[in-house]
Chain A
Amino acid sequence: MHILEAVILGTLFGFVLHRIGAANPQNIINMLRLKDLHLMKVILFAIGFSCLFLFLGLHFGLVPKSHIHVKTAYVGVIVGGLIFGSGFAIGGYCPGTSLVALGSLRKDALAFILGGLTGAFLFMLSFGYLKHTFLFNKIAGGKATLADTGIAKYHALITGFPGVAVGVAIGALFMVIAVLLPLSTGNSDN
């Protein structure tokens, strides 16, 4: 059941999200307004760094392949992302950071979480009507990755190169973009 790991990893993740400023809606909104790219640099670097070392870890057998979980790509991923993005811009919270923000006693985070429970409930009620629509049409076969993970049920879109090389290259690219992005734009005073 791994309950101890759940407490340790969840607490660590919440702590880190708070310290990078992700649980402060000011930082999210100003990132989306392209005024303050601090958080964007953090996230892009984290994705690149973990991507690079995940593929190295898989290649050298340090990360168990059974721990990899690739989600299906379907039309609803994009449509859901668009709906998510509009709420993200209004609220400045996402499902995880609102919980961390609640821990730091932000009151609007509580309103967001109650809204989130309502939104998830509405989806539970609507899924039965949506599941046979185009929204669940798969894209590129569904469970696809750019770099080959070496796991048969996930197919790679970039072939002809070893998966570890593609994974490391993509990870490095994200890290380079993170370094090059400016911290803030314009003559901001924050």
Chain B
Amino acid sequence: MEERWNWLAGGLALGLTCLLAVYLIKPIGVSTQYVILDGMIWNAVSGDLVKKDPAAPKGYSSRNPYLNKSGGKYAKNIANPVNYSFIFVLSMILGGILSSLTAASRASVSERVAPPVWQKRFGSDPIKRYFFAFLAGVLVLYGARLAGGCTSGHMISGMMQTSLSGYLFAAGVFASGIPLAVILFKDSGN
């Protein structure tokens, strides 16, 4: 089991981090950057996905309607990979590396393939876990983009600002997540 801070220390650290981000720059958000990375890959393959467009409010436009929305904001970030939001999200990986290197205890090799609660219920076949983790990723990011944000942008940053959208998103997530987790992992014990 990986080391974790007691809940109060953890809550303070997370709260202070979110406050610091909004004090210095803006509220934290993550899921948009999956679209930006997709767009970078797509643009590298096809070459004409996003282009400079002096008529667009953000100076860029795209033939994809989603990338073209909000005045070409996403198109602009795809054309300019070194921007605050994208580098912020990439740096989160570094944070994970630094924390696990300096932690008192780390996750075991088998835990890093599938969590014990999964193994108890569905066995230790890695391929099965990877398949369902992939499927989970498809659902989570499709849902996050439809909702316009994820756990970071809607739930933490949104509810911190008392945004109605943040509370609605959280309600949706737990309304499906809790019953499904209870049913899926019914026989996994405590």
Contact = CB atoms under 8 A, between A and B. Distances in A.
A137 interface: no
Given A84-B143, A95-B150, A186 B190 contact: yes
B95 A14 contact: yes
A67 B136 CA distance: 32
Given A67-B25, A77-B168, A96-B89, A86 B150 contact: no
Contacts, number: 516
A130 B145 CA distance: 12
B134 A114 contact: yes
A33 B166 CA distance: 22
A122 to B, nearest CB: 6
A79 interface: yes
> Which among B98, B131, B181 has the greatest number of chain A C-beta atoms within 10 A?
B181
Interface of A: 1-3, 5-21, 23-27, 29-30, 32-35, 38, 41-51, 53-55, 57, 62-63, 67-74, 76-109, 111-125, 127-128, 130-131, 135, 139-140, 144-147, 149, 157, 166-167, 170, 174, 178, 183-184, 186-190
B153 to A, nearest CB: 7
A101 B97 CA distance: 8
B172 interface: yes
A171 to B, nearest CB: 8
Given A81-B143, A145-B162, A103 B172 contact: no
Nearest to A7: B91
Contact of A13 (B64, B69, B84, B95): B95
Contact of B13 (A20, A23, A55, A131): A20
Contacts of A121: 38, 42
A9 B106 CA distance: 24
A87 B162 contact: no
Contact of B65 (A57, A76, A131): A131
Contacts of A72: 148, 165
Interface string B106-121: 1100011111111000
